[in-house]
Amino acid sequence: MAINLNIKTNSKQVSAKFKKFGAVLPRIIDKGVKQAGFQLVDIIRTKTQKGIDFEDRRFAPYSEGYLKKLQRENKPTAVDLFYTGTMMGALTPSMVKKTGKHKITLAFSRKEEIDKAFFNQVTTDPQRKFFGFNTRTEKIINKSFEKFVKDELRKFKL
């Protein structure tokens, strides 16, 4: 006595879905990482405009001499690293560059603005560290990245 059992599977469809998934996922991740870079540029600009460093502390005040210069020129005296707008203007989404597998780099577009940023970030005393991010910002960007990837994968009905 023998029993024959025939089982139909959808292994070809499943295999095709996995193959499609393998091809689509790296592109989605790269797109999400670049979008995260754009979000970080926006966060840096917003915090700097509010006079807050990347660790959510107020910038140190300007020196008396610099404050007098700003007042003579009728410029705002709030510590927001904004004099002409060229430094923060040089930090644009077009300067978010892919620099490796699932990796991007933010940069300033002109040498003069790089020097200004370096002065504010490193050489001036007290330092005004605006170019960076903290754990809280990282969590916000991670959450946005995960949502983006989920939404993109849903579009492909994987």
Question: Which stretches of the chain score pLDDT less than 50?
Answer: none
Q: Which residue has the tokens 């020097």?
A: 115
pTM confidence score: 0.81
Lookup: tokens for 140: 């916000």
Q: Which long-range contacts (CB under 8 A, 24 or more apart) does 92-99 make?
A: 92/41, 93/37, 93/38, 93/41, 95/41, 96/34, 96/37, 96/38, 96/41, 98/30, 98/33, 98/34
Q: Are 70 and 76 in contact (CB under 8 A)?
A: yes
Query: Which H helix or E strand runs over 19?
Result: helix 11-49
Looking at residue 54, what is its pLDDT?
93
Q: Are 95 and 15 in contact (CB under 8 A)?
A: no
Grouping H, G, I as helix, E, B as strand and the rest as coil, residue 61 is coil
The rounded distance, in Å, linking the Cα atoms of 133 and 88 is: 16
Looking at residue 43, what is its pLDDT?
95
Looking at residue 1, what is its pLDDT?
63
The rounded distance, in Å, linking the Cα atoms of 34 and 13 is: 32
Q: Are 144 and 31 in contact (CB under 8 A)?
A: no
Q: Are 44 and 131 in contact (CB under 8 A)?
A: yes
pLDDT digits (tens, 9 = 90+) for 129-152: 999 999 999 999 999 999 999 999
- Average pLDDT taken over every residue of the chain: 87
Grouping H, G, I as helix, E, B as strand and the rest as coil, residue 106 is strand
CA distances from 109 to 53, 92, 116 (A): 21, 8, 12
